[in-house]
Amino acid sequence: MATFKAIRIDKAEKGTTAALVQFDEADLMEGDVTVRVEWSTLNYKDGLALTGTSPVVRRFPMIAGIDFAGTVESSTNPNWKSGDKVIGNGWGMGETHLGAYAEKARVKGDWLVRLPDGMSARDAMAIGTAGYTAMLSVLALENHGLKPADGPVVVTGAAGGVGSVAIAVLSQLGYHVIASTGRASEEGYLKGLGAAEIIDRNELSAPGKPLGKERWAGGVDSVGSTTLANLLAMTKYRGAIAACGLAGGMDLPSSVAPFILRGVCLLGIDSVMCPIELRKQAWARLSRDLDAAKLADITQEIALDQVIDAGAKVLAGQVRGRTVVKIG
C-alpha cells in the first residue's frame, strides 16, 4: 500500500493537534524491519501525547502510540523474517520515532521481542507497556529479595493499567496486596484481580511525616510525588518501592529518613530503554504469571478512530484496566 491509516500529531500555533489521516509509506523513518501492525493499546503516556498535555512528542509530524504487536512484513535484520510475530514498545516510538497507531511501522529489529508461545497479539497489547512495566517492577522487587512471607505489598493507581496488572501478578505469586485507589466504586473490580485490601488514595496523597508506621514490605507506584514519599515513609525495614510513573507529579517531597534509618530502597523502573534481555524475561514471565482470565476481564477494545477521544479519558481517570486498539 502507498498510504495507510495513522494517527498523526502535528505542531500547532498553540500546542499540538492529533488526527486520523492517510500516511505515506515513503515517509516512514529508517529501520531494518517493517511490521504490519495488528493491535496497539492505550497507555497514560499515549494520553499525554494525544492531548498535548505534556511535551511527550519531540519530533513532528509524529505517529502516536508507544506499543504494537503484529507480523513482520519485510526485514533485512538477520534475527527476523517475513511472517514472524513480534512485539514492539518503547525505544522512543510515539516520541522521537514514528509510532504504533498506524497500519505499518518501521523500526530497528533490535527493538523487537518475539511474541511468546501461546500469547496472541491482542493479549500482548492487553498487557502493553503498562503491564510490561508492572512486570519490570515485580522483577525489580524480586531481585531486591522481596518474598510473599515478608509482608503486604502496596499498589498505587490500582485501577489503572499498571496497577491492574501489578495486582493480578502479585496476587498470583502469593502476595497480600493492598490496593490504593481514588475510586471506591472499583472495590469489586480490584478484589476480583486479587487485592486483599483496598485503601483510599487520600491516605497517601497529603503531606506526611518523614517516617510513618511500617505498613508494607514493598510496593509498585505509578503516581509519584507525595504519594511515593508517603509509601517510602511507611515501608518496613529493608523493604523497597518500585517507582514507575508520575500520574501525581514528577516531584518527590521526601527526606533521607526512610533510606538511612530503615534501609528502604527506591527502585527506578524505566520501560523505554530497558535492555532487550530484561524485556524478554519480562514478557516470558507475563506469559506464565499473568492469569489469562483476569487479563480478559480487565480489557476493553476500541478501534483506531476512537483512540483520540480515549486518550483524554485515560488522563481524566475515566478508564480502568487495559484498552486494546484494533488496527487492522
Q: What domain count does the chain have?
A: 2
pLDDT at 328: 77
Encode pLDDT of 125-168 as tens digits.
Answer: 999 999 999 999 999 999 999 999 999 999 999 999 999 999 99
Question: CA–CA separation, 137 vs 101, rounded Å?
Answer: 26
Determine, yes or no, domain membership for 120: no
Give yes or no: residues 135 and 252 share one domain: yes
Determine, yes or no, domain membership for 304: yes
| Contact assessment for residue 69 and residue 132, using Cβ atoms and an 8 Å cutoff | no
Give the domain range for residue 76: 3-115+298-326
Give yes or no: residues 137 and 254 share one domain: yes
* Count of all residues that appear for the chain in the document: 328
| Contact assessment for residue 13 and residue 295, using Cβ atoms and an 8 Å cutoff | no
Give yes or no: residues 137 and 168 share one domain: yes
The cell for 242 is: 518500585
Give yes or no: residues 140 and 110 share one domain: no
Give yes or no: residues 203 and 78 share one domain: no
The cell for 284 is: 516470558
pLDDT at 1: 55
pLDDT at 319: 87
Determine, yes or no, domain membership for 290: no
In CATH, what number is assigned to the domain containing residue 240? 3.40.50.720
Determine, yes or no, domain membership for 278: no
Give yes or no: residues 27 and 146 share one domain: no
Question: CA–CA separation, 46 vs 68, rounded Å?
Answer: 12
Three-class SS state of 265? strand
Determine, yes or no, domain membership for 275: no
- DSSP code for 113: E
Give yes or no: residues 111 and 137 share one domain: no
Question: CA–CA separation, 322 vs 114, rounded Å?
Answer: 21
The strands making up 3-11's β-sheet, listed across from edge to edge, are 16-24, 3-11, 62-63
Determine, yes or no, domain membership for 287: no
Determine, yes or no, domain membership for 289: no
Determine, yes or no, domain membership for 285: no
The mean pLDDT values, 10 residues at a time, for the chain of 328 residues are 92 94 96 98 94 93 97 98 97 97 98 96 96 97 98 96 95 98 92 97 95 98 97 98 94 97 98 96 97 93 97 90 93
Give yes or no: residues 213 and 186 share one domain: yes
Encode pLDDT of 18-58 as tens digits.
Answer: 999 999 999 999 999 999 999 999 999 999 999 999 889 99
Give yes or no: residues 87 and 140 share one domain: no
User: Which ranges in the chain belong to alpha helices (H)?
Assistant: 44-51, 121-144, 161-172, 187-193, 202-205, 225-233, 257-261, 276-289, 292-297, 307-315
Give yes or no: residues 210 and 255 share one domain: yes
Give yes or no: residues 312 and 200 share one domain: no
